[in-house]
Amino acid sequence: MALSSKLNKDGFRVYCLLGDGEIEEGEVWEAAMTSSHYKLDNLCAIVDNNNLQIDGSIDKVMNPYPIDEKFKSFGFEVLTIDGHNFKDILEAFNKARNIKGKPTAIIAKTIKGKGVSFMENQVGWHGKAPNEEEFNIAVKELCN
């Protein structure tokens, strides 16, 4: 999409949200190499770096660290932010918009389930929904 935008002079930017477990997949790095090769400065990848994936902590399953150095080595500008801080997020998007000649990767440090006491950093919540009681407790905690 980012390459199409460049070739057709459409002028739109592309934002791609990636999980930190997802970046263990080879196609991500093929796309990253392609993005750099074509100098896709209209592409901004955001990595949700919560350290967890469905089978456990990412460093135990298939360690992708150092994520920032990997993206740099693939020709990206890299920004690391607190992924829960909206000011940081907006500033990073503004910086990325002004980076020319290469794509940007924003490494957003996050906590899975943040704000819900029984979900924070619990890998078991990666792929299941809360029951009604858990849902009501979670909403109450998030709204306080």
Q: Which residues bind Mg ion (CB under 5 A)?
A: 19-21, 50, 52-53
Shortest Å distance, C-beta 141 to Mg ion: 21
Shortest Å distance, C-beta 58 to Mg ion: 6
Shortest Å distance, C-beta 21 to Mg ion: 5
Shortest Å distance, C-beta 62 to Mg ion: 12
User: Cβ closer to Mg ion: 42 or 110?
Assistant: 110
Please report which residue ranges of the chain form alpha helices under DSSP H: 2-7, 26-37, 58-62, 67-73, 86-97, 132-143
Percentages of the chain per state (helix, strand, coil), in multiples of 5: 40, 20, 40
User: Cβ closer to Mg ion: 42 or 53?
Assistant: 53
59 is written with which tokens?
């460093």
User: Cβ closer to Mg ion: 42 or 50?
Assistant: 50
User: Cβ closer to Mg ion: 45 or 52?
Assistant: 52
